[in-house]
Structure 1
Amino acid sequence: MTSVLRMPVDMFPAMNIPVVAVATFYSGMPPEQIETDITSRFERFFTLGAGIEHMESRSLPGVSVIKVYFQPGTNADSDVTTISNLAMAQLRRLPPGTLPPVILKFDASSLPVCLVTFKGEGLNETALRDLAQFQVRNQVASVPGASVPQPFGGRYRQIMVYADPYKLEAHQLSLMDVVRSINNANLILPAGDLQLGQLDYNIYTNSQVSSVEDIDRLPIKTVGVSTVRVADIGYAKDAQQIQTNLVRVDGQPSVYVPVLKQGGDTNTIAVVNGVRDRLKNLFDVPKELVTNVVFDQSAFVKAAIETLGHEGAIGLFLTSVMILIFLGSLRATVAVFFSIPLSALAAAIALALGGSSINSMVLGGLALAFSRLIDNSVVVLENIYRHLELGESPEVASEKGGREVALPVLAATLTTVVVFFPVTFLYGVSKFLFSALALAVVLSLFASFIVAMTVVPLFCARFIKAASHHGTPSSEQPVTVDMPRRRSFGPRFNIWFNQGFETFLKTYDSLVGVVLRGPVPTLVGFAAIFVAGLA
């Protein structure tokens, strides 16, 4: 039971189809040159890796993105290591100034499990992005199993220097002169150390600017005794990068952060609950900031689990009512009642030992098998009751009743199981999806067979002392029912139902006899009805 409770919960089963993404940046390089100098070189070099199925790439302004798809079943961590080693070996052959590539591992679990939005009165898009990027994101990332990428929306703050080309030309300066001067003036460098007594002090020279006005006063060039400063050729401004995406919540400019699940063995519900709890206890953020989870993948998993519980409860109730009506024994009803939960629990334990997770496909497989789980127990129980009515003791009736139908029940179980054999021929994503569903059905059916062959006979031998007369449906073996003067409602209803059912079966036997005595007229009559139905 502990292993079942600790099973990871997810929307879909783990899909071991590793994909490694390689993103390389060179600011300002056009897509054509990115394709020739970066993307193509990486693609040719990545072919040295083992187990690669195919590659996809995109060359954008300043960015090269390559996705390497590996064969299903390969180790994702080994694939990342292989691509990382190849990328680092190729880096020295790339154009000077190319940033080291960012290498990430992707799979089906890399989809967001929830989206967190940010908005607030009086907070502009720049402030919202800064809060999401540097405050909230770091706190949410500490939730076990959560991976938090960069936020979307908002404006990324940047100090911009706007230069007048005419003033640059008048002072015989270029834009690179301005860039070099600002970089050289905005430094912090070690300047040695100073020992005073027993203490050793590290000394730094700090020329970093602390305000936009300080940037305007930075020197660019000295001519004689006069100095050309930034303010002489332009001005500095606290601005932002060019905005490439926009997020609005309730018509208000906002920012959102996707939260991903780390790996296939992480519990989706636990991750989302942890994110919600962390958002309630944020610190070092303004009180105007409003956070909200607008997408929650765990809601679908919870709904699937709740639906499965409802279906199981309805199935148990209806089955128990039918067993109680036909057998007239509350103890026999209890014997069948435990077939569904025991079979489902055994299947869940087997799935947990196999490293599976609780997902929509597994739950769908269990829901599909629920209507079949009780059949084996009902057949065994009915045969045991037949032996009890023949006067045998509960122990002997349980042993004979279970042994006699063991092979037919096994054959019936196998005929259902073999239907799912073609799933093994599927390939790709379909194989991982439907294999989980088929495995849940197969394990639960085999568990129901074991329960029917062990638990039901043991329960009958232990707790059922005599058979309630539920009426053997046969006109050759009539049923006689004693009618004491005083009986409770249950026995009286059972006697009434069996008498009515016996009458129905006698009528059915009579109709079957008529059909068998005149097969040709019967076939002609049904053929005429079929043809009339088509008209």
Structure 2
Amino acid sequence: MNITRFSIQRPVGITTIVMLFVVLGLYSFFHIGIELLPALNNPYFSISVEYSGASVEEVEESVIKPLEKELASLSHLQKILAIAKPEKATIVLEFDYTANTDIASIDASKAINRVRKNLPDEVDEPAIIRRDANSEPIMEIAVKAKYTLSDIYGKTDQIFKERLQRADGVSDVTVGGGRDREVAILVDRNKLSLYNLSLDQIAKRIAEDNLLLPAGSVYTDTQESDVRLAACYNSPDEIKRLYLPNANGAAIPLTEIAEVTEQDSRVSRYARINGDDTVSLKVYKNSDANIVNTVKAIQAQLAALQSEYPDYQFIVVANDANYIDKSLNNTLTALVEGILTTGLVLFLFLRGWRSTVAVMIAIPTSLISTFLVMYAVGFTFNMMSLMGMALCIGILVDDAIVVLENIHRHRQMGKTPAVAAEEGRNEIGMAAIAMTLCDVVVFLPIAFMTDMTGQYFRQFGLTIVFATLFSLFISFTLTPMLASRLFTTRASQEASGKIWVFVDKLEAAAVKRYEQLLCWSLANGKRVVGTVLILFIATILLLPTGIIGAEYMPLTDESSFQISVELPVGQNLEMTDAVVAELEQYVLSIPEVTYCLSDVGLISSNKAKLTVQLVGKRERSRSVWQITDATRSFAKNNLSQAAVRIF
């Protein structure tokens, strides 16, 4: 018994099988991750090395050449790019796209460790920087309150940060700006000399009573417990009560020779929101976390914190999930609109609701079943996979229409619905398989390209392949079964009514026009071929002539942009902050800007980053690119001492 006959004779059985795919597909739909673009295996690493006081020549000879020689033996390495600057070396490693980036990173770290002992002592520890989408925060938050910056920082670092880290999907939270608190011990040099003491003695005495050490284990009949010795200072008053023995054996109170105070530590970073001092929070997600669900979990924690700490204000400056959610919802909406439009067109052309219902059931069933395979192979909902689903609607419609049209033809021969469904499907079975395999052959190679383009299009191509194969299965099973149940016993399904009379007139007029055009084309073959050839050549020339531009990915207006500022190595925090303050003043003068969050010194004293949020696209007359172009022009003309990058 072939599969089509089984489906027609065992409708409950085939319905159960199809419903199994549908239920699992719906389960997968609610568990598939959401991203803007597919995850990429980015085979690039940067190695940054600081060498204080070194010239370009010294950096090249003492740092770059030894590292290059050792790194050149790494597996899958394709290219090494080295840049020597005063006091700094940067080495960029490019691997092929088949390389496992985790293993490559470990191998690079081992190679650096092997050569580290041969580098000058003044060289800082080399840092390996991986270009990973998850290395960027998914949300940036500014914390404000009517308290001192040190109080805000303390609350943020000890409570708010820990609470946000509890949110599902969050991997890390970093705190910027604010002020740390420290205990300062101001020693009177004269008294130090009088009591025959040294600064080293004071430092050692303080360290002796500030310990956190393992102290063994305690065993009982039922359990084992680890014991730790915690002898740490909890307040400056505990330090004030210390005594220091001098050479004569006398115990000298610390307060006799020094003043112990608690104060703000030296400023090592700044954070501002719209020009006002603040404390910033940057939230990062796990690599396999659903960004939309993670952001929802973060927002739930923020809402709870806001109710618990009403004196504090939590301003969300950047939220990657907003744009992704809107983009994917728009794509899903377009997908649904495409299915509904297809149903309307089929209703008008097939002249009956029964055939339309069969097609409208077959298409969503194929798509929902595709979710199961997407989830099983680790795909996500992103612009590429959803684009593939939208594109394959036409393929799915073809499978259903071809089957129904042939079944309809067999019904007109006077056959029963069951016989017409089976014979109509079997008659075009090989043709349908060949048509489906052609689609598979076209899109399957796209999925196995190994370069960056292949990584982007892998989910696009395979999603179409999965949906097409499911569509073939549905066209052999569910569609003929529905046709055998939905089609009436009449041999003809001629539609009647005023609306169909009007549609018939439109169709007759269109057919007549088409016949006239076809007759003219056959009579003027040279003109038709010449016109098509000219249009073909003109179309081909659009790319090389630059009339149609080319870019790797289309630009998108996300109503936000970021600015990175980097001064030469060695510039102090105050110089960097002065440059950022000038740039910040210009950005805040832009009428479309709602928030500008500046982080200065978060990475190093000569670097800063600004996150700028704009009003929505419908609320402004300028695009984000016009605004960023104007900002670049300002930076070029007024901030020549800094490298400013806007993205």
Give the TM bin, normalised by the shorter chain. Answer: 0.7 to 0.9
Amino acid paired to 1:10: E
Match in the other structure for 1:377: 400
Contact 1:328–1:468 under 8 Å retained in 2: no
Match in the other structure for 1:185: 206
1:125 aligns with 2:130: no
Contact 2:164–2:173 under 8 Å retained in 1: no
Query: Which of 42, 47, 64 is the matching residue for 1:17?
Result: 42
- Following superposition, the deviation at residue 307 of structure 1 comes to 1.8
Q: 1 CA distance for matches of 2:184 and 2:79?
A: 42
- Following superposition, the deviation at residue 20 of structure 1 comes to 6.3
- Following superposition, the deviation at residue 35 of structure 1 comes to 8.0
Query: Which of 476, 498, 501 is the matching residue for 1:496?
Result: 501
- Following superposition, the deviation at residue 104 of structure 1 comes to 7.6
Taking a change above 3 Å as real, the CA distance of residues 407 and 237 of structure 1, as seen in their structure-2 partners, is same
Query: Which of 329, 336, 341 is the matching residue for 2:352?
Result: 329
Match in the other structure for 2:416: 393
1:294 aligns with 2:317: yes
Q: 2 CA distance for matches of 1:48 and 1:444?
A: 44
User: What are the Cα deviations for residues 53-80 of structure 1, in whole angstroms up to 9, with x where unaligned?
Assistant: 5567889999988776544343444345
1:136 aligns with 2:160: yes
Q: 1 CA distance for matches of 2:462 and 2:309?
A: 51
1:11-410 alignment to 2 at 5 Å? 11-17=36-42, 29-30=52-53, 44-47=69-72, 49-54=74-79, 70-83=95-108, 85=110, 107-122=132-147, 124-159=148-183, 178=199, 181-188=202-209, 210-211=235-236, 238-244=263-269, 246-263=270-287, 265-282=288-305, 287-410=310-433
Unaligned runs of 5+ in 2: 1-23, 216-226, 539-647
- Following superposition, the deviation at residue 334 of structure 1 comes to 0.8
Paired residue secondary structure (1:151): strand
User: What are the Cα deviations for residues 18-77 of structure 1, in whole angstroms up to 9, with x where unaligned?
Assistant: 566778899xx5466888777776665455543445567889999988776544343444
Taking a change above 3 Å as real, the CA distance of residues 454 and 239 of structure 1, as seen in their structure-2 partners, is same
- Following superposition, the deviation at residue 348 of structure 1 comes to 1.9
Match in the other structure for 1:456: 479
Amino acid paired to 1:185: I
Taking a change above 3 Å as real, the CA distance of residues 67 and 8 of structure 1, as seen in their structure-2 partners, is farther
Q: 2 CA distance for matches of 1:58 and 1:231?
A: 55
- Following superposition, the deviation at residue 346 of structure 1 comes to 2.5
Match in the other structure for 1:3: 28
- Following superposition, the deviation at residue 262 of structure 1 comes to 1.5
Amino acid paired to 1:459: L
Taking a change above 3 Å as real, the CA distance of residues 63 and 180 of structure 1, as seen in their structure-2 partners, is farther
Q: 2 CA distance for matches of 1:132 and 1:20?
A: 33
Q: 2 CA distance for matches of 1:127 and 1:65?
A: 39
Amino acid paired to 1:434: F
Tell which deviates more after alignment, 100-109 or 216-225: 216-225
Taking a change above 3 Å as real, the CA distance of residues 453 and 225 of structure 1, as seen in their structure-2 partners, is closer
Contact 1:114–1:258 under 8 Å retained in 2: yes
Contact 2:243–2:251 under 8 Å retained in 1: no
Taking a change above 3 Å as real, the CA distance of residues 306 and 203 of structure 1, as seen in their structure-2 partners, is closer
Tell which deviates more after alignment, 136-145 or 209-218: 209-218
Amino acid paired to 1:127: D
Match in the other structure for 2:453: 430
Contact 2:98–2:450 under 8 Å retained in 1: no
Q: 1 CA distance for matches of 2:160 and 2:399?
A: 55
Contact 1:84–1:103 under 8 Å retained in 2: yes
Paired residue secondary structure (2:392): helix
Q: 2 CA distance for matches of 1:37 and 1:116?
A: 42
Contact 2:183–2:262 under 8 Å retained in 1: yes
Amino acid paired to 1:188: D
Q: 1 CA distance for matches of 2:89 and 2:528?
A: 75
Unaligned runs of 5+ in 1: 194-201, 472-489
User: What are the Cα deviations for residues 87-107 of structure 1, in whole angstroms up to 9, with x where unaligned?
Assistant: 566666677799987778663
Q: 1 CA distance for matches of 2:30 and 2:232?
A: 58
Amino acid paired to 2:285: K
- Following superposition, the deviation at residue 438 of structure 1 comes to 2.2
Q: 1 CA distance for matches of 2:208 and 2:393?
A: 70
Paired residue secondary structure (2:311): coil
User: What are the Cα deviations for residues 417-438 of structure 1, in whole angstroms up to 9, with x where unaligned?
Assistant: 5554663575543321122222
Contact 2:76–2:96 under 8 Å retained in 1: yes
Taking a change above 3 Å as real, the CA distance of residues 290 and 442 of structure 1, as seen in their structure-2 partners, is same
Taking a change above 3 Å as real, the CA distance of residues 44 and 140 of structure 1, as seen in their structure-2 partners, is farther
- Following superposition, the deviation at residue 327 of structure 1 comes to 2.6
Amino acid paired to 1:78: I
Bigger Rg, structure 1 or 2: 1
Q: 2 CA distance for matches of 1:40 and 1:232?
A: 53
Contact 2:210–2:231 under 8 Å retained in 1: yes
Q: 2 CA distance for matches of 1:387 and 1:132?
A: 74
Q: 1 CA distance for matches of 2:518 and 2:129?
A: 74
User: What are the Cα deviations for residues 290-336 of structure 1, in whole angstroms up to 9, with x where unaligned?
Assistant: 22433222223322332233223322322222222233322211101
Match in the other structure for 2:516: 511
RMSD: 5.1
- Following superposition, the deviation at residue 140 of structure 1 comes to 1.9
- Following superposition, the deviation at residue 171 of structure 1 comes to 6.8
Contact 1:17–1:74 under 8 Å retained in 2: no
Amino acid paired to 2:426: R
Amino acid paired to 1:504: A
Contact 1:10–1:358 under 8 Å retained in 2: yes
Number of paired residues?
494
Taking a change above 3 Å as real, the CA distance of residues 52 and 354 of structure 1, as seen in their structure-2 partners, is same
User: What are the Cα deviations for residues 107-134 of structure 1, in whole angstroms up to 9, with x where unaligned?
Assistant: 3333322223211122x33333333333
Q: 1 CA distance for matches of 2:510 and 2:492?
A: 16
Q: 2 CA distance for matches of 1:266 and 1:302?
A: 15
Q: 2 CA distance for matches of 1:232 and 1:17?
A: 59
Taking a change above 3 Å as real, the CA distance of residues 506 and 331 of structure 1, as seen in their structure-2 partners, is closer
Amino acid paired to 1:356: F
Taking a change above 3 Å as real, the CA distance of residues 283 and 305 of structure 1, as seen in their structure-2 partners, is closer
- Following superposition, the deviation at residue 507 of structure 1 comes to 3.2
Q: 2 CA distance for matches of 1:217 and 1:259?
A: 41
Contact 1:394–1:461 under 8 Å retained in 2: yes
Q: 2 CA distance for matches of 1:509 and 1:88?
A: 75
Amino acid paired to 1:240: S
User: What are the Cα deviations for residues 150-184 of structure 1, in whole angstroms up to 9, with x where unaligned?
Assistant: 322333444456899xx79x979xxxx64674354
Paired residue secondary structure (1:281): helix
Taking a change above 3 Å as real, the CA distance of residues 527 and 359 of structure 1, as seen in their structure-2 partners, is closer
